[in-house]
Amino acid sequence: MAGFVNNLLILLLLFQNICLGFRSPLSVFKRYKDTTTSLSSECLGSDQPVISFGLSDFALDIRMPGVTPKQSDTYLCMSIPLPVDDEAYVVDFKPHASMDTVHHMLLFGCNEPSSAENYWDCDEGTCKDKSNILYAWARNAPPTRLPKGVGFRVGGETGSRYFVLQVHYGDVSAFRDKHKDCSGVTLHLTHQKQPLIAGMYLMMSVNTVIPPGEKVVDADIACHYKRSPMHLFAYRVHTHRLGKVVSGYRVRNGQWTLIGRQSPQLPQAFYPVEYPVDVSYNDILAARCVFTGEGRTTETHIGGTANDEMCNFYIMYYMEAKHAVSYMTCTQNANPEMFRNIPNEANIPIPVKSDVLKMMHGHHEETKDSDTSYLLQQAKKEEAEILDQDFHIEEAVEWPGLDLKLGQVSGLALDPENNLVVFHRGDHLWDENSFDSKFVYQQRGLGPIEQNTILVLNPSNAKLLHSTGKSLFYLPHGLSVDKNGNYWVTDVALHQVFKLGASDKEPLLILGVALQPGSDKNHFCQPTDVAVDPITGSIYVSDGYCNSRIIQFSPNGLYVMQWGEETSLGRARPGQFHIPHSLALISDLSQLCVADRENGRIQCFRLETGEFTKEIKHKAFGRELFAVSYVPGGLLFAVNGMPYPGEAESVQGFVMNFSTGEIIDTFIPLRKSFEMPHDIVASEDRTVFVGDVHAKAVWKFASAEKMEHRSVKKAGIEVQETKESETIVEARLKNKPESTDPLKNTDKHLVQEASSTGVSFVLITTLLIIPVVVLLAILVFIRWRKTTVYGGKGSGGINLGNFFASHKGYSRKGFDRLSTEGSDQEKDEDDGTDSEEECSASPLPPAPSSS
């Protein structure tokens, strides 16, 4: 009997180890036993705050737990612990709030919240210890994106262990229906060490008084910087209703360098710093808020209510990890005299439409139906414009096209089916021996390229669908595809432009004279690109390396007109070119944009007249801008050239707002590096391809949101849209065998904890049954052996019920409580609930290689 009991105990221990061995990586998350909150049934979203993205990454959902503020200007706070003990890094933020209900939110990091309640009035404070601002949101601002390799450090020995969300509910008339609010923010965290640590520098006026009726009142802030160098990458401005413009600067040796300038009445996002700004020891950081007291009958002071004012300039920065400081403030004006030299732009208000002002401040006055309809339409339009820019471009690292064996890639285009068309030079090279001083091609003896120079690829998997262009070209350059699927190409050696049908071996139309450079109506000199108007069929040619003009032809190739001239000495004037290198036809606006390569700019012209309309030029372009592409809806994509020796501008891709010319995003490849990106093409779904003439490669880029969606789709995850357009993701196992390929399994990266519907009940049950069956088989064998040895006498029954009841879960050490200090600053709200993971939860697959 004693031997049997010993065997049973050993088996029980083995079973427990097996059970723990099958535990999901989510078991690293703490159980929130004392801090679990439940979202109201009226709140939509995940009832679990933690979702794993694999072995190293996870998301933390922070939401208000279904609150209904009863008074205007109510500040509510809630806290949630960091679900891991070790160090982690916040690398992304996604807000969930609307200006209809929330004035603004702040997210703090600290170690001891001011209260242990599910939520509390922020008048009690936010944190008991020192708090760091991690994130701020107001007025339908888009998500904040951190640069690659940069993260806010939390947890571990020195980082914050709690997040505290502050939410300011300005006008509570939106809560007349007594609905519950669950606004908040979702954080993306990773355990992978980040080489650069992000922090927040807050410049804030604390003693400004705005007299009633005063037309202009300045609030100035300035501090000397006394720490290790930091690099600024984003800024955000904040005032209440009286603020007109907020500007921030770095002042070094009397020189004012703009960090950012914005109207606080526009969506209060963290906007990217347009030109890189570094701050060194003994620099001065300065900011000015411009207010007006018009319309007020009493003095307005700095304070926390909507009738008070604020003057805040937030700066997101990063530093080397060994010197990192997570939070710094400046609340004084160390040198009032210096503001006599502040650039005049800081004093010029940025105009905002009156109807936008009403919407931004959440007014709920009763209006006529027509007025209400108009405001709603305007709000949707403004939101659409914001969301249209709310994305980040990243390389699609799973795309195999980078490994294609190509010659120098000179041109890219998309055909009517959205397939990628590549124009490359096969075994021919353009080098210093290709042309003489008169631009005559010197390597005719090589003959035309014997490989197919036009390749049509599946944009998803880079599979070759079609190829043509063999024995036709010497040095391919520009490429476009018209609405009928015809290929239009230029050859700089032949000095010609060709039209080819997709299935034709001979050109349908040839412009220019073979191998003869020239500058009249019938000749080109190294033409660089061609574009065809889908409406009129007119042909536009950029000509070229040795001419400086744009030529228009009729659909059948007759000369119509030309414009452009060489760049004169000094600053290039509108209509002057120094290698018009690439064309982007904006048919919906009847404009043609030209990448003026050596002038490092984009010039746009009217199609009908060639009249100059705008120039887009940024310091970040450097001296050269190689190619430009347009996407209907208002986005321009471009790539620049390598910097000259001693210059800092990096070679990269750009996403710009066509209307304003502002840079929305920049991107670089993760695999290999740009050497000379020569052409770029983008589709309406914001998939971008870049061809590099030196690297002989083609990269694919896509918006981060799109790639996340694609990864979700691969994993068989169903995405359901709620009425508030927030996404609930549930992982469901499909009714087909699981692949044994670990690489395929890595695609399934959004698996929720076992206590939710996110993990398959069948899988958990199977993992439980296997060791039980093994255990029972062993017990039967032991019973049979004892029966045989002792002549068939049983040794007593066994009760497994107590065994299963004894292992309900495991406990974890508690968290050190975090807090954020109370302030008159803006406040944010987030909330999430916690769930436990049983030891029998299935293991999560590793994270996919793509993001």
Q: What are phi and psi of 481, to 5 degrees?
A: -125, 130
Under DSSP, is residue 525 helix (H, G, I), strand (E, B) or coil?
A: coil
Locate all alpha helices (DSSP H) within 361-408, ordered by sequence: 369-388
Other CB atoms closer than 10 Å to residue 642's CB: what's the count?
18
Would you say how long the chain is, in residues?
851
Q: Among 64, 78, 166, 316, which one carries the catalytic annotation?
A: 166
Q: Strand 162-169 relative to strand 74-81: parallel, antiparallel, unpaired?
A: antiparallel
Is 310 assigned a catalytic role? yes
What is the rounded CA–CA span in Å between residue 785 and residue 333?
89
Q: Which residues of 99-129 are buried (b: 16+ CB within 10 A; e: fewer)?
A: bebbbbbbbbbbbbbbbeebbbebeebbbbb
Token reading at 727: 């996404």
Token reading at 110: 């600290």
H-helix or E-strand spanning residue 530: strand 527-532
Is 103 assigned a catalytic role? yes
Is 224 assigned a catalytic role? no
Dihedral angle computed from the Cα positions of residues 557, 559, 561 and 563, in that order, rounded to the nearest 10 degrees: 80
Nearest residue to 611 (alpha-carbon basis) of 630, 625, 592: 592
Q: Among 240, 424, 428, 618, which one carries the catalytic annotation?
A: 240
> Residue 523 carries which side chain, given as an amino acid letter?
H
Q: Among 230, 310, 316, 328, which one carries the catalytic annotation?
A: 310
Is 203 assigned a catalytic role? no
Cβ–Cβ < 8 Å for 12, 6: no
Q: Among 96, 188, 238, 424, which one carries the catalytic annotation?
A: 238
Strand partners, 476: 491
Cβ–Cβ < 8 Å for 246, 261: yes
Q: Kindly provide the residue ranges of all beta strands, DSSP E only, lying in 436-548, ordered along the sequence.
A: 454-457, 464-468, 476-481, 487-491, 496-500, 509-511, 527-532, 539-543
Cβ–Cβ < 8 Å for 285, 223: yes
Q: Among 103, 392, 424, 678, which one carries the catalytic annotation?
A: 103
Sign of CA dihedral 87, 93, 94, 96: positive
Other CB atoms closer than 10 Å to residue 199's CB: what's the count?
21
CA R_g for the chain: 32
Is 301 assigned a catalytic role? no
Helix axes 761-789, 2-21, angle to 10 degrees: 160
What is the rounded CA–CA span in Å between residue 456 and residue 463?
8
Other CB atoms closer than 10 Å to residue 58's CB: what's the count?
24
What is the rounded CA–CA span in Å between residue 119 and residue 77?
5
What is the rounded CA–CA span in Å between residue 681 and residue 421?
10
Reduced 3-state DSSP string for 133-184: EEEEEECCCCCCECCCCEEEEECCCCCECEEEEEEEECCHHHHCCCCCECCE
Nearest residue to 597 (alpha-carbon basis) of 535, 505, 533, 528: 528
Q: Among 96, 168, 424, 495, which one carries the catalytic annotation?
A: 168
Q: Among 96, 104, 477, 581, which one carries the catalytic annotation?
A: 104
> Measured in whole angstroms, how far is the alpha carbon of residue 800 from the centre of its chain?
53
Is 104 assigned a catalytic role? yes
**Percent of the chain as helix, strand, coil, to the nearest 5:** 15, 35, 50
Is 191 assigned a catalytic role? no
DSSP classification of residue 673: -
Cβ–Cβ < 8 Å for 96, 186: yes
Cβ–Cβ < 8 Å for 599, 639: no
Q: Which residues of 820-845 are buried (b: 16+ CB within 10 A; e: fewer)?
A: bbbbebbbbbbbbbbbbbbbbbbbbb
Task: Name the residues annotated as catalytic.
Answer: 103-104, 166, 168, 238, 240, 310
